[in-house]
Amino acid sequence: MKKIFAILLSQLALSSLFAAQNTTLSIASVVANGLQVEVDGYLYQSAENSLIIQNLSSGYHSVIVHTNDFLNPKLLFNQQVELRDGVHTDITINRFGTAMKDERGVEGVGYLNLLPMSDYDFTRALETIGNEWRDEDREVVMRQIVDFNYFTTQQVINMLSHFSFDARRLSMAKYAYGKTLDRQNYYLVNNTFTYRSSKEQLADFIHNYR
């Protein structure tokens, strides 16, 4: 009886992990010749420096990445990663050991379109910006966030609301414009400015944007 129960539990765990959903997780490292990737306790190995895992269930998964070195595997990544149905999640580990996450929606076969930051990730990003005391430090953090993500206009507005002065808000509004997906709504960013000159400068920037 105990053996049957254990088998049923194992089958339930597998069905939960590999539920038929359209998710893709790709992991790459520029420093590793071969990867060991553990997802919720299940091990995947590759002799190359990249690995793709498909059709995991949506939700949060424990993802641990080591170099594929039998004698001395090096830990490269150990985090909870959110996978979303219909989304390709890509994790790239650079030569300095920093992991960069990108997400794109899957439409059809082999076609990827851009998605803004998830609510969970964006909330953490806002908290990180808000933890800084000075506008110049907030700008450094926001630039890091913008470099590796895409946004809605409202998300940009929410980030700009943490800045105290128009000069910084204008600088970051320009910086985030190229990573904003609903640019037709970017006029709403004007509501974050105190001075008319800031609105005019942003309008000129958008008009001349290439």
pTM: predicted TM-score of the whole model, two decimal places: 0.51
Closest listed residue to residue 190, CA positions, set 142, 140, 153, 152: 153
Per-residue pLDDT at 210: 66
- Residue 180: which residues within 8 A CB-CB, separation 6 or more? 150, 151, 152, 153, 156, 186
Closest listed residue to residue 52, CA positions, set 67, 41, 39, 33: 39
Per-residue pLDDT at 154: 94
Per-residue pLDDT at 111: 35
**Cross-strand pairs, 29:** 93
- Tokens of residue 95, six digits: 């030569």
- Tokens of residue 88, six digits: 């390709």
Per-residue pLDDT at 102: 79
Per-residue pLDDT at 113: 56
- Tokens of residue 188, six digits: 């709403």
Per-residue pLDDT at 85: 79
Per-residue pLDDT at 1: 47
Per-residue pLDDT at 21: 62
Per-residue pLDDT at 107: 54
Quick one: how many helices (H) and strands (E) in the chain? 6, 9
8 Å CB contact between 50 and 26? yes
pLDDT by 10s per residue, the chain, length 210: 444 333 333 444 444 444 446 788 888 888 777 888 999 998 888 888 888 888 888 888 999 998 888 788 889 889 888 888 778 888 888 877 788 887 777 654 343 457 888 888 899 999 999 999 898 999 999 998 998 888 999 999 999 999 999 999 999 999 999 889 888 999 999 999 999 999 999 999 998 886
Q: Is the dihedral of CA 143, 166, 118, 128 positive or negative?
A: positive
